[in-house]
Chain A
Amino acid sequence: MSTPILQIDQLRKAFGGLVAVNTVSFAVAEGELLGLIGPNGSGKTTTMNLISGALVPTSGEVRLDGKKISGASPAAISGAGIARTFQLVRVLPGMTVIENVMAGAVFSRARLWGRAAEARAVELLARVGLEERAHLPLSAMTYIDQKRVELARALAANPRVLLLDEWLAGLNPTELNQAIDLLRGIHREGMTIVMVEHVMDAIRSLCSRCVVMNLGTKIAEGGTDAVLSDRNVMEAYLGVE
């Protein structure tokens, strides 16, 4: 591919003796929706944390548009254009829904304030289907609605790359379909997305390409169908027969 928008280059993270991410490399093209999958404990979320700046790599680099972002603070990386959702939803409990979304727009790459920020927040809340509830406090929201707030907040940051950390977890079938449609729509508008997921149906229907990790190492990369029928991948998930 031509210069990928996001390049993970020999990324490694060790916590003392435990190597959580072991020399992982892959690239994400602009406008792509890449799936990052693997069994529990494979290092997917750690990789997300390394990209978003929550963790600093032990060695290796993360590059956005060819420029190194690894090692910088999360605030700087946000300014460069990375936004994310969190595995355990982290909404701001003391603020209203619209304030939560505005929080994404004010200090990040979007840099909006006042009426402009509010307007953008309203626009994004409509996008995720929450326009009626803009002025409610977070305590009044269901889990899936809180996830939608998180997504709107991440979009409000006007990111170059959106990181979704198991955003589809814990949804019933109806909610899941709605969520998949929502993501498909956002992707169609041109957003580059990296999704860590366990829900295989979603991966199959959304991602054209996947990277598979197991025990910190990348064990497969390629088209979704090919990867999911790969012997190594099946063994990783199901254990050796």
Chain B
Amino acid sequence: MKRSEIQGLGLAAVLLAAAALLPFLTEGFYLTLALNLAIYVALCTAWTLFSGPTHLVSLATAAFFGVGTYAVAIGIDFLPFPLLILCGGLAGALFATVIGAATLRLSGVYFVIFTLGLAELTRQIIAYLQTKVFGSMGLFVMTDHTEGDLFLYLVGLIGLIFATGWLIGRSRLGFALRVIGNDELVARHFGIKVARTKIILFAVSGAFIGMAGAILAPRYAYIEPQAAFNPTMSFMVVIMALLGGTRRLWGPLVGVVPFTLLSDFVSANFPDHINIVIGLAFLGIVYLLPDGVTGALEKLMQRRGGSTPTGDVR
């Protein structure tokens, strides 16, 4: 391993440990804020695992999150919470595999369009099942888990996501993704099963998002379809990840903090303006920061240093 890699790993470990101390140091407002940030860090990083290398904008985040939440809501009376988190992950992975198998063999446009309505579709189906089959609008989730507990679970999940990203980068899967990202035709001609690779990666990403949804189920005592499957979540994740920059796995981190604060502020003070903010954010990303903040910074540093990048390519 290179020295810079060891340094990076060390830094990550330190940050995670520091984050894990947070629930013991503070409560109330700051913990809730930290929890909200942690949610989006987990979601955006898991999203970037897939959408970064493949450049396919997935809007399915809310759908995978929702199935994770529902996995807990359904099983909370029968199974221990940690096991249910894994179930949420499994549900997310299965869902992603099905979606991926259906859409990833075709052009990227179909994938994006399909994921666009996925959260709404899932919400409709579950709402229908809930009312017509199960007779109630939602499910109760009663646990003793505090916000601090949930935060720690999330920190653990974030660590797991980064570790997975790092391992993938060093693996054949990661290498295959880089080749695909450079030239798909060449990838095919040298033995890479392109669709299968994308589906596997999508499943991994979906699993982590499902786990995040599962972890957060205890936060709402009563799980309703529209709470669990909130399409706005998908859009937020995309904005934050792209804003931060998806060339590096830690890029989205940079986008999460400012945008979460901004959207909280706007929702609180100008609730009717949130769509305008989202729209401007997307336009800003496309026209001003196509590689996100981290990408722009890296380009600046390269111009100063005079070297050419050999990392992931657009």
Contacts and interface: CB of A to CB of B under 8 A. Distances in A.
Do these two chains interact? Answer: yes
Interface stretch (A23-31, A58-66, A100-108, A204-212): A100-108
Contact of A92 (B182, B194, B309): B182
A103 B188 contact: no
A93 B189 contact: no
A113 B188 contact: no
A107 B312 contact: no
B313 A106 contact: no
A53 B193 CA distance: 13
A188 B183 CA distance: 31
Interface string B293-314: 0000000000000001111110
B306 to A, nearest CB: 13
A73 interface: yes
Interface residues of A, number: 31
Contact of B186 (A79, A102, A103): A103
A94 interface: yes
Given A84-B189, A106-B191, 7 more contacts: A53-B188, A73-B193, A103-B186, A103-B190, A107-B172, A107-B191, A107-B192
Chain B, interface residues (CB within 8 Å), range: 20 to 34
Interface of B: 172, 175-176, 178-179, 181-183, 185-194, 308-313
Which one of B179, B181, B187 has the highest number of Cβ atoms from chain A below 10 Å of its Cβ?
B179
Contact of B176 (A78, A94, A107, A137): A107
Nearest to A110: B191
A17 to B, nearest CB: 26
Nearest to A107: B191
Contacts of A139: 308
B310 A96 contact: yes
B190 A107 contact: yes
A116 interface: no
